[in-house]
Structure 1
Amino acid sequence: MKKFKITLLILLVLLVLSPIVYVQVNKMLYAKRVNAYLLEEEHYRQEEIQSVQGIWGVKLPPFIRL
């Protein structure tokens, strides 16, 4: 019974943490892609780029107005 509770607890923790980790990893990957694009395609120098941050937003359907 104790192994079942531990397994259930681990699964619940993984279920809660997986979306958070997914978003953070995607933000970092996006920031790296933008930084590489600015350096390689737009020919910026590293000193000119102050910071690049990936921002995760939610796009609502066009019929929902806030």
Structure 2
Amino acid sequence: MTAGHLNCTVCPSCGAKLAAKDSRPHDAYGFATVRRRRVCDSCGYRVQTVEIPADVADDVFQEDAA
């Protein structure tokens, strides 16, 4: 894992692996994304993620050139 990136496959509550229970296309941000509902099989923790394409992420989350 690199700085600035979240690991959305590990449960923040117990550390077990999160499983994707539902995946849907999503367009609310003006480009194609995927919305996933994830759940921990160990403790039941639930989270929703929105995944964006890598090329869009590079443009949106660029670090400022110093």
TM-score (norm 1): 0.23
TM-score (norm 2): 0.23
* The structure with more strand, counted as a fraction of residues: 2
* The structure with more helix, counted as a fraction of residues: 1
